């Protein structure tokens, strides 16, 4: 039997984004890296419900050379020792690279599916940006959009809209 999974964006879901002019950005340093409220408790609830927990994140600042790969790996190591995350997938490309892994393309989701034997029809994508929702819709996952009021519009509709991370587990348990 295939596994069910929660596939989460990083910045804005796992940790707070730095919002400048209505646009979210990753934290530039470890001193500015802060987990979102209740993320640990939320993920522990979902882990106990036998979900595979995967992060899939665009980190184009590495490719743009405005953030080091070492800094991103430090964030990911901190996440993995603190939270019950099974794996982190990261795309370091920019839009111009035309790779298959950069969201909204679903390459990272397909890699997670292969690695973890995931049934997308029993799984959820959680994100705070249109790219997350588009990728989740592309593969047939239920999608949960955390609406922080950024200055950008969705391109496709999510299955659920929430205002905080705490609401994620309530939606998933309602659907079970």
Among 9, 61, 128, 132, the active-site one is 9
Q: What is the pLDDT of residue 175?
A: 61
Per residue in 94-115, pLDDT (tens digit) is 988 999 999 999 999 999 999 9
Task: Tell me the average pLDDT of the chain.
Answer: 95
- Among candidate residues 121, 138, 160, the one with its CA nearest the CA of residue 5: 121
9 is catalytic: yes
Beta-bridge partner residues of 95: none
172 vs 175: CA distance, rounded Å? 5
Pairing verdict, β 5-8 and 124-127: parallel
Q: Is 70 exceeded by the pLDDT of residue 176?
A: no
- CATH code of 56's domain: 3.40.50.1000
Q: Quick: pLDDT tens for 56-91.
A: 999 999 999 999 999 999 999 999 999 999 999 999
**CA distance linking residue 44 with residue 169, whole number of Å:** 10
pLDDT for residue 150 = 97
> What phi and psi values does residue 20 have, to the nearest 5 degrees?
-130, 120
The predicted pLDDT at position 173 comes to 78
User: Which residue segment(s) compose the domain that 73 sits in?
Assistant: 5-175
- Residue 95's pLDDT is 86
The answer to whether 139 touches 114, Cβ cutoff 8 Å, is: no
Predicted confidence band at 10 (pLDDT cuts at 50, 70, 90)? very high
**Catalytic residue at 11?**
yes
Share of the chain above pLDDT 70, in %: 99
Residue 144 has pLDDT above 70, yes or no: yes
Q: How many domains does the chain have?
A: 1
């Amino acid at each position: 039997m295939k596994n069910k999974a929660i596939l989460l964006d990083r910045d804005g879901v796992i940790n707070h984004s730095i919002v400048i002019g209505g646009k979210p950005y990753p934290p530039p340093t470890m001193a500015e890296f802060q987990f979102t409220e209740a993320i640990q408790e939320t993920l522990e609830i979902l882990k106990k419900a036998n979900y595979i927990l995967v992060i899939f994140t665009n980190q184009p600042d590495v490719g743009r050379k405005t953030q080091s790969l070492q800094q991103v790996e430090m964030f990911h190591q901190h996440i993995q020792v603190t939270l019950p995350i099974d794996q982190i997938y990261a795309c370091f490309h920019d839009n111009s690279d035309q790779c298959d892994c950069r969201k909204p393309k679903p390459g990272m989701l397909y890699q997670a599916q292969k690695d973890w034997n995931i049934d997308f029809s029993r799984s959820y994508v959680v994100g705070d940006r249109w790219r997350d929702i588009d990728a989740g819709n592309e593969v047939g996952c239920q999608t949960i959009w955390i609406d922080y009021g950024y200055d950008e519009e969705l391109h496709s509709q999510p299955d659920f809209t929430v205002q905080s991370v705490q609401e994620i587990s309530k939606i998933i348990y309602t659907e079970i």
